A and B are shown apart, each in its own frame.
Chain A
Amino acid sequence: MAKIDLDKMLEKVKATQWSLADIDWDAPGAELITYEQWPKLKDFMADLMWIEHVGARAFAAMSRKAPTETLRQMYSYFHAEEQRHANAEMALMKRWGMLEGDVIPEPNVNLRLVIEWLDRYADDMPFYILGAVIPMLEIALDGALCTFLLETVADPVCHQAFERINDDESRHLGVGFTVMEMQGHNKTTIGIIKMIAPIVDPRLLLGIASYVPLLNKMRDNIMDMGLPEEKLYAAMRKFEKIGGRTADGRRNPWYQIIQTHGKFVVNRSNRFYHAPVDAAVKLTGLIPRRMLPAVPSWVKELTWQPTA
Chain B
Amino acid sequence: MTDTKSSPAPSKLEKENPASVIIIGAGFAGLGMAIRLQQAGVTDIVILERANDVGGTWRDNQYPGAACDIPSNLYSYSFAPNPDWSRSFSGSGEILDYIHHLMKEFQLQRYVRCGKNVVDVIFDEKSALWKATTSEGEVFTGRAAVMAQGPLSNAGFPDIDGIEDFKGHKIHSARWDHDYDFRGKKVAVIGTGASAIQIIPELVKEVDHLTVFQRTPGWVMPRPDFETPDWNKKLFRKMPAAQAALRQVLFLAHESMALAVIWSSPLTRLAERLGRWHLRNQVKDKWLRRQLSPSYRIGCKRVLVSNEYYPALQRKNCKLITWPMYKISHKGIRTVEGVEHQFDCIVFATGFEVSNAGTPFPVKGLGGRLLDDEWSGGAQAYKSINVAGYPNLFFMFGPNSGPGHNSALVYMESQLDYAVKGIKKILDGDLRTLDVKPKAQTQHNNAIQKRLAKTNWNSGCMSWYLTADGFNATMYPGFATQYANQMKTFEEDDYMVVPAA
Residues of A within 8 A of B (CB): 14, 17-21, 64, 69, 76-77, 80-81, 83-84, 87-88, 119, 123, 296-298, 301, 303, 305-308
Contacts and interface: CB of A to CB of B under 8 A. Distances in A.
A184 to B, nearest CB: 25
Contacts of B340: 19-21, 306-308
21 contacts: A17-B336, A19-B334, A19-B340, A21-B334, A76-B324, A77-B324, A80-B323, A80-B324, A83-B323, A83-B336, A84-B336, A87-B338, A296-B286, A296-B287, A297-B285, A298-B287, A301-B337, A303-B339, A307-B332, A307-B339, A307-B342
Interface string B316-337: 0000000110110001101111
B454 interface: no
A306 B338 contact: yes
A197 B285 CA distance: 32
A19 B161 CA distance: 14
A306 B332 CA distance: 12
Nearest to B339: A308
Given A14-B326, A64-B295, A83 B287 contact: no
A308 B340 CA distance: 6
Contacts of A21: 334, 340
A19 B338 contact: yes
Contacts of B288: 297
A212 B57 CA distance: 59
B290 interface: yes
B374 to A, nearest CB: 29
Contacts of B155: none
Contacts of B331: 307
B341 interface: yes
B207 to A, nearest CB: 15
A21 B332 CA distance: 12
A308 B323 CA distance: 14
Nearest to B462: A69
Interface in B272-307: 285-288, 290, 295
Contacts of B287: 296-298
Nearest to A88: B338
B466 to A, nearest CB: 12
A307 B341 contact: yes
A130 to B, nearest CB: 16
Interface of B: 285-288, 290, 295, 323-324, 326-327, 331-332, 334-342, 462
Nearest to A120: B286
B457 to A, nearest CB: 16
Grouping DSSP codes into helix (H, G, I), strand (E, B) and loop, the B interface class, with mixed when no group exceeds half, is mixed
B342 to A, nearest CB: 5
B462 A306 contact: no
Nearest to A84: B338
B324 A83 contact: no
A87 B339 contact: yes
Given A17-B326, A306-B340, A307-B341, 6 more contacts: A18-B338, A19-B339, A20-B340, A297-B286, A306-B339, A308-B342
A307 B335 CA distance: 11
Given A14-B326, A297-B286, A81 B339 contact: no
Contacts of A308: 339-342
B337 A84 contact: yes
A83 B332 CA distance: 19
Nearest to B285: A297
B462 A77 contact: no
Given A297-B285, A308-B342, A83 B462 contact: no
B290 A123 contact: yes
Contacts of A19: 334, 338-340
A14 B288 CA distance: 25
A222 to B, nearest CB: 25
Nearest to A72: B295
A81 B338 CA distance: 8
Contacts of B462: 69
Given A296-B287, A297-B287, A305 B339 contact: yes
Nearest to B336: A80
A306 B323 CA distance: 15
Nearest to A78: B336
B336 A87 contact: no
A77 B336 contact: yes
B338 A20 contact: yes
A14 B290 CA distance: 24
Nearest to A123: B290
A18 to B, nearest CB: 7
Contact of B335 (A14, A64, A80, A119): A80
A76 to B, nearest CB: 6
